Amino acid sequence: MYKNIQLADSTMAIIKKNELLIEIKNELDRQRDKIGPGYPQRYFDRLMTLINKNISSDNDWKVFEELFDQAHENFFKRLKSTYPDLTQSDLKLCAYLKVNLSSKEIAPLLNISFRGVETRRYRLRRRLALNSDKNLVDFIMQY
């Protein structure tokens, strides 16, 4: 129980951090549009690179993965043995679905749009060979 709470807290902290960084990124874009060529491109690029690097940090995933493995023993191993064609991206999506996150909550974790999450869910369903009548989240929860 404690491990699930710790996992949820960690996940929410990562989501909040990424949402804030995305908001900063959007504000920076708006300011550059207003200022125009007066804002040097190299400074803008440097800031955007720094923001993007921190949104999609491998360190966030490692922390999440470690806590997730403690809470859901051998989930990745079982999934990978049954479905060896799953990519690292698929496994991340499965983990986020397993902790019952919505597509809206998953988007900032993967640094993609809501629509991008929906597309990945569709592709995951195909890789798992799930019928349209089978719920993806229910399937992942039972694993």
Instruction: Please answer whether residues 120 and 136 qualify as being in contact, where contact means their C-beta atoms are separated by less than 8 angstroms.
Output: no
Instruction: Please answer whether residues 98 and 75 qualify as being in contact, where contact means their C-beta atoms are separated by less than 8 angstroms.
Output: yes
- Give phi and psi for 125, each to the nearest 5: -55, -40
Domain count, the chain: 1
Which amino acid, residue 51?
I
Nearest to 106 by CA among 1, 27, 5, 19: 19
Q: State the residue range of the domain holding 73.
A: 2-142
Instruction: Please answer whether residues 109 and 117 qualify as being in contact, where contact means their C-beta atoms are separated by less than 8 angstroms.
Output: no
Reading the chain (143 residues) residue by residue, the pLDDT tens digits are: 677 778 878 888 888 898 899 999 999 999 999 998 888 999 999 999 999 888 877 788 888 888 888 888 889 889 999 999 999 999 999 999 998 999 999 998 888 999 999 999 999 999 999 998 999 999 999 98
Read off the pTM: 0.74
